[in-house]
Structure 1
Amino acid sequence: MVAFHASALDGVARNSALPTPLLLRLLAFEGDGDRPPRDALQRAGLPELAVVAILAHPNPSARIDFAMSARAEPAQRARLADDPSPKVRAALAYGPEVYDPRTKVAPLPDAVCVRLLDDPVPSVRTALLDSPHLAPSFVASMATHHSSAARREAVRAWEILPPGERSALLADPDPEVRRAAAQWECRRDARVTSELLRDPKSAAEALRRGLLVRADAERGVAERTHLVALAENPSLPADLVERLAVDPDEAVRLAVSLRPELDETRRMAIDFTVEAFDRGDVEWVRDGLADPEVLRRAAASVHPMLRRAAAQSPHLPPDLVRLLARTEDPLVEDLLSVHHPDTPEEVLMRVYARLGGTFSAWMAETHPRFPREGLAARYADHPDGNYRRLVVRDPAATPALIERLSHDPAVWTRQAAAGDPRLPLHRLREALHVPELASSAGANPALPEDEMVAVLDRAVVPA
């Protein structure tokens, strides 16, 4: 198979106008023992005939791709729970890899997770326990499971577990389960904190989050072993907070500066340094990304890391979005553009100009507020191809302009034009045979069905 034919085939596989008969033909494709194109397997809204074809595909890799599709319904993917291949079942158990923080993956039904948790193959069970997509109800249900690994994961649902199950986990026969449970219970029980401090594996976590008695807090300051962790502890006595605020270790002072109880005057009196690319992973803000009061305190702070932490919330009210958009912190702008659907257009354009490349292309294609009108007039003759490719977003761009851009010196601009349905048909047919444009042309929704058929024929996809 010639390389550009394969590229065109990948484009056709993700074409939103692909007729169902051609989709089914693609899904039956095995090539030389190969699987169908991943974009065909992971399309949104697959018809039932297509799902049946995937579930019965002889190549396990095809079923793995479907098992890890973020666009498939959980009930559709769940039908792979009895797949003969452990690799397929493990892929199903772990679920989709998600790179866009705005993408939410619905969990598999609890009953299916129960079956996967008792799968005879260890890799399947491990994949399920490692999955980031489990429903809280299922995580909590593992507290009484016969597997110690499952009980250890159940502590993640500590706040919703009944008191009796918490007590059972704290007294579990497995030491790792007991330790995991104690690391949650120590937040409300100073006795448990003291016990964890005697365990080198647990000391740092206990100092960071555990309820401390005075003696344990003073000992932690004196020993300095996990001083940054201790500086974050919510129960650290105020006088010890003041002592750590002038500690010679800069990392300790920075940790103190992020404490939630400080007012802004006291916070900014601390000598700390924030790195230009420190995203602001502040636990009390991260845990409160949907809490209006937490967001307001963090977004209105003069501390860069708190503003950056707040910018990662999709729940910011309009006034806080506007406030953060005026901070003149490039990282705040970057984080807003990724996480918030109402990021102002001027911020999106600054991020686009600053970052360029793949990220800017992704943002322009996916962000709901990224501008459209007026781009053709502004950028059709821009010296930077990164801007010229924005022209295809403008509803006012003419077919002649799109065709001109399909010959642009910048490959990304040519590709954007090749995928635009306004591209004249004669040029669209030409683009199918240009290696770097074939994939974009194949995905063009204006591509006639007979051309799609021709692409499948050239790729030797059986009828």
Structure 2
Amino acid sequence: MNHVQYGLAVNPSLPSELVDRLIAIADADLGSELADRTDLSRAQVIALAARGEEIAVRLAYEGRLTAADVDPVTEPYAALALLDEGAGRPEWARLLAAHPIPERREKLAACPSLPSDVVETLAADPDVRVVAELALWTTPEVAARLAAHPHAEVRRAVAANEATPPTVLAMLITGEGLPPARRCLVCDREETPFVHDPHCPRTDCDLSPGAACDGSHQSTVHETQHMALLNPATPIDAAVRLAGHPSMLLRSALAARPDLPSPVCGQLAEDPLPGVRAALAGNPAIDDALIRALAADRGHDVQRRLAHNPNVPLDVLTRLAGVTRIGPTLLPRIAAASPAEIAELAESPNPTVRMLLAARRDLPADIRGALAADPDAKVVKSVAPHPGLPETELRAMVARHGVQVVAKVAANPDASPALLEDLTRHEPPVQKVFREVARHRNATAPALLACLADRRARTIAAGHPALPPPVITELLTDNDSQVVEAAAANPSLPPAMMTELMPW
């Protein structure tokens, strides 16, 4: 890998004529870097696409190639990318539907708006992977037909397709109204009964761990029911029939459904496995009484998931903050708090509650200021990156709480150049400060030079445009290849040096 060339490829200041020179030598990796550029001319896009089909696929998905630019015979994957984007030609689909390589037919099967004759060809494909891919993305009518396919893998894909009619999804849950499947991926390859060893030593085996078939295709049926439970189009009346299923995976998927009726919520709240109760705790469908009951559930992750429930009452959330580890994240209920509730939370005697409120970035100035002056460091740490805080308050935070908050102060988007320089000189030093300053838009050359001395901040600082050009040039010979690449990508790299670094 030529890390200098990789860095130059994404350098926004690279002159167009030098972009041309990189395109002329681009392999798949360098071409991928060049494809990130937003300033490529039409001619450069065409030239870059010609460097390899992998690059052409990327450009096709980004809408920078048209059907006129692609030959489906010599560039089938680029043609598939355009078909996937709805920008290909119908005759391409007919050509690729008969392609001898199954992988290409499988990719075609995932494309939208295929001609009806192509859909019929793919639905009858001899490779079940092609048919299953079609089943995953096809129209309601075709999905309904494929639900009765003799291969269980196709039915599993139908269960995951949100366009599948609800009545069909119900049949896939219960098995009623459909003929039994005759094959699955397990019995296609192994003599039944068979259970796949989770630690299978065979390097060419792609069966999932625990895949099993005793003639009933049980692991694929289980996966089909799971896909159907995750599918929002599945009728809840059919889904709740699995409330007593022995599989925790199925009960957990059911517990998370937002259309779950109250009696079933109550049933799952008594589930012996905390994973099921935790899934239920995060479900916005549960009522106030059940929320309060689950708030006392000490099962693994139940209370934490409940804290993330958007409908949890604030008094319950306040209690949860004292008994479970939530972290300084913006919880949905706090994000939706009214002005009166915000004022109430700001006055909570529990510093964890104040910390959670401080994660909001739209607080009134008076409340933001009160949190910035909070005596508890974790509250101040949470509010420190809040835009709009004046420099006096940011410096006061550091003076009161020191190393506990200094990195978060450095992350404040309004931190001044002078403040950032002072933070890099803080004693004792905090390593994360250097990473925050290195990526800060207001960082100055002195601050960035200090960041270069930190191993983890060095790469970030090497790409900062405020770094002096002589320093950027020096970093091009750094022992760390990531630093070299970042320096080559620095928009402040002198144009003469860019030319000198070209391969010819």
Q: TM-score range by the shorter chain?
A: 0.5 to 0.7
Q: Is 2:362 the partner of 1:317?
A: yes
- Higher RCO structure (Cα 8 Å, ≥6 apart): 1
Partner residue in 2 for 1:97: none
2:24 corresponds, among 24, 28, 49, to 28
1:373 corresponds, among 414, 417, 425, to 417
Partner residue in 2 for 1:136: none
Structure 2: distance between partners of 1:184 and 1:294: 37
TM-score, length-scaled by structure 1: 0.58
Partner residue in 1 for 2:202: none
8 Å CA contact 2:265–2:286 kept in 1: the answer is yes
Deviations 1:245-283 (A, max 9, x none): 444636445555665555333454569732265857x7x
2:107 corresponds, among 117, 121, 124, to 124
2:260 corresponds, among 211, 235, 255, to 211
Q: Is 2:264 the partner of 1:224?
A: no
2:313 corresponds, among 263, 268, 272, to 263
Q: Is 2:311 the partner of 1:274?
A: no
> Shift in Å at residue 113 of structure 1?
12
* Secondary structure, aligned partner of 1:46: coil
Deviations 1:341-371 (A, max 9, x none): 87988789989977999xx9xx96xx8x253
1:48 corresponds, among 16, 24, 42, to 42
Partner residue in 2 for 1:14: 10
User: Taking structure 1 as reference, are residues 197 and 47 closer, same or farther at Cα in structure 2, changes over 3 Å only?
Assistant: same
> Shift in Å at residue 317 of structure 1?
3.3
> Shift in Å at residue 228 of structure 1?
3.0
8 Å CA contact 1:418–1:444 kept in 2: the answer is yes
Q: How does 1:106-255 map to 2 (within 5 A)?
A: 109-110=85-86, 121=104, 124=107, 142-144=138-140, 146=142, 152-155=159-162, 165-167=165-167, 169-170=169-170, 180=227, 191-199=237-245, 200=247, 202-209=250-257, 210-212=259-261, 214=263, 216-217=264-265, 219-225=267-273, 226-234=276-284, 236=286, 242-247=292-297, 249=299, 251-255=301-305
> Shift in Å at residue 16 of structure 1?
1.7
* Secondary structure, aligned partner of 1:374: helix
Structure 2 gap ranges (5+): 98-103, 113-135, 147-155, 173-177, 182-220
8 Å CA contact 2:260–2:285 kept in 1: the answer is yes
User: Taking structure 1 as reference, are residues 294 and 40 closer, same or farther at Cα in structure 2, changes over 3 Å only?
Assistant: farther
* Secondary structure, aligned partner of 1:76: coil
**How high is the sequence identity, in percent, across the aligned residues?**
18
8 Å CA contact 1:244–1:256 kept in 2: the answer is yes
Structure 2: distance between partners of 1:414 and 1:206: 46
User: Taking structure 1 as reference, are residues 238 and 392 closer, same or farther at Cα in structure 2, changes over 3 Å only?
Assistant: closer
> Shift in Å at residue 208 of structure 1?
3.4
Rg larger in 1 or in 2? 2
User: Taking structure 1 as reference, are residues 23 and 261 closer, same or farther at Cα in structure 2, changes over 3 Å only?
Assistant: closer
Structure 1 gap ranges (5+): 69-73, 94-107, 130-139, 156-160
Structure 2: distance between partners of 1:394 and 1:325: 25
Partner residue in 1 for 2:461: 416
* Secondary structure, aligned partner of 1:16: coil
2:491 partner letter: P
8 Å CA contact 1:208–1:230 kept in 2: the answer is yes
User: Taking structure 1 as reference, are residues 392 and 424 closer, same or farther at Cα in structure 2, changes over 3 Å only?
Assistant: farther
> Shift in Å at residue 36 of structure 1?
2.4
Structure 2: distance between partners of 1:335 and 1:89: 50
2:20 partner letter: L
> Shift in Å at residue 26 of structure 1?
0.2
1:205 partner letter: A
TM-score, length-scaled by structure 2: 0.54
* Secondary structure, aligned partner of 2:34: helix
User: Taking structure 1 as reference, are residues 212 and 177 closer, same or farther at Cα in structure 2, changes over 3 Å only?
Assistant: same
2:261 partner letter: L
1:265 partner letter: D
What is the number of residues matched between the two proteins? 394
Structure 1: distance between partners of 2:324 and 2:244: 33
Structure 2: distance between partners of 1:238 and 1:382: 49
> Shift in Å at residue 322 of structure 1?
3.4
8 Å CA contact 1:91–1:127 kept in 2: the answer is no
8 Å CA contact 1:185–1:192 kept in 2: the answer is no
1:317 partner letter: D
8 Å CA contact 1:179–1:202 kept in 2: the answer is yes
Partner residue in 2 for 1:135: none
8 Å CA contact 2:278–2:305 kept in 1: the answer is yes
Q: How does 1:283-294 map to 2 (within 5 A)?
A: 285=332
Structure 2: distance between partners of 1:407 and 1:221: 52
Deviations 1:302-337 (A, max 9, x none): 799998988888xx5343993896586859967996
User: Taking structure 1 as reference, are residues 293 and 452 closer, same or farther at Cα in structure 2, changes over 3 Å only?
Assistant: same
User: Taking structure 1 as reference, are residues 142 and 407 closer, same or farther at Cα in structure 2, changes over 3 Å only?
Assistant: closer
